[in-house]
């Protein structure tokens, strides 16, 4: 039994504490904003919560992914691909017909 207990203790990993917002560390970045200390604290807390939420949700920095679900983004991207393909085909046809006219003239 002591072998099992020893193995369990060896397999335990140290828990890393979550980061804590230190407003004073970022206060100099807001020096040009003409905010009160209370407003700076509130602003930094909001940004901190947004960034923490992005990390928790494993989101990219792209704001579109925050506002639209991935399936909707995929649908829009698929529509863009189809539209680009149609545009490319139209341009190719126009160039071909323009080329034929110049050859005839």
**Residue 45 to residue 35: CA distance in whole angstroms:** 14
Say what the pLDDT of residue 5 is.
Answer: 58
**Tokens at 40, concatenated:** 């700076």
Say what the pLDDT of residue 37 is.
Answer: 94
pLDDT profile of the chain (105 residues), mean per 10 = 58 77 92 94 94 76 62 71 66 58 50
Say what the pLDDT of residue 11 is.
Answer: 66
Of 12, 9, 40, whose CA–CA distance to 27 is shortest? 40
Say what the pLDDT of residue 45 is.
Answer: 95
User: Which run of H or of E encompasses 104?
Assistant: helix 70-104
């Amino acid at each position: 039994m002591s072998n099992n207990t020893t193995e369990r203790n060896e397999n335990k990993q140290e828990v890393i504490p979550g980061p804590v917002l230190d407003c004073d560390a970022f206060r100099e970045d807001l020096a040009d904003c003409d905010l009160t200390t209370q407003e700076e604290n509130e602003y930094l807390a909001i940004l901190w919560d947004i960034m923490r939420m992005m990390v928790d949700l494993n989101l990219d920095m792209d704001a579109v992914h925050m506002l639209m679900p991935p399936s909707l983004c995929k649908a829009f991207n698929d529509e863009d691909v189809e539209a680009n393909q149609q545009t490319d085909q139209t341009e190719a046809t126009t160039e071909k017909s323009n080329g034929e006219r110049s050859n005839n003239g």
